[in-house]
Amino acid sequence: MRGGSSMPHTIRFEEKGDMTWRQTDMIFMGNYTELDEYEVEAGLIGYLVEIIGVFDPETNLLNFDTLDYVPFFQVPKLIIEQSKYLKNWSRVKLSSPLPKEYQWPKGLSIKLGAELKGASFFRVKIEEE
């Protein structure tokens, strides 16, 4: 998530409850717990105070420590394939690299480097690590 101002404020909620919080030139590390559908509680390493973050689905902002953050998500590794008859699939090259993240709820747009000749089918697979 990114802060709404021009200052570089970001919060990254990682797997297994880990988080990093960047405020301009300082980075805090800690853990978070989901309290309910729209609330998280964060504890920072070395600090005794817990911070409650509240997400507002109408504004699409997370209020965290008096700052509003816009949610961004990491783009998974994608494989795009093309087929004429849904039997043999060939990998399609992208005309530019995938972005590292996208802003939710906006969609992710990609441009294919494939040449369209007649009817073709495309599928997208998420490459698991």
CA 25 from centroid of its chain's CA atoms: 22
Half-sphere exposure of 5 (CA within 13 A, CB side): 9
CA pair distance 40, 29, nearest whole angstrom: 15
Looking from the CA of 88 toward its CB, the CA atoms found within 13 Å total 1
Give domain limits for the chain: 2-70, 74-129
pTM metric for this prediction: 0.62
74-129 pLDDT, tens digit per residue, is 888 888 899 988 999 999 888 888 888 888 778 888 887 766 667 889 999 988 76
Instruction: Name residues whose C-beta falls within 8 Å of residue 78's C-beta, 6 or more positions apart in sequence.
Output: 98, 110, 124, 125, 126, 127
Does residue 22 have a pLDDT over 60? yes
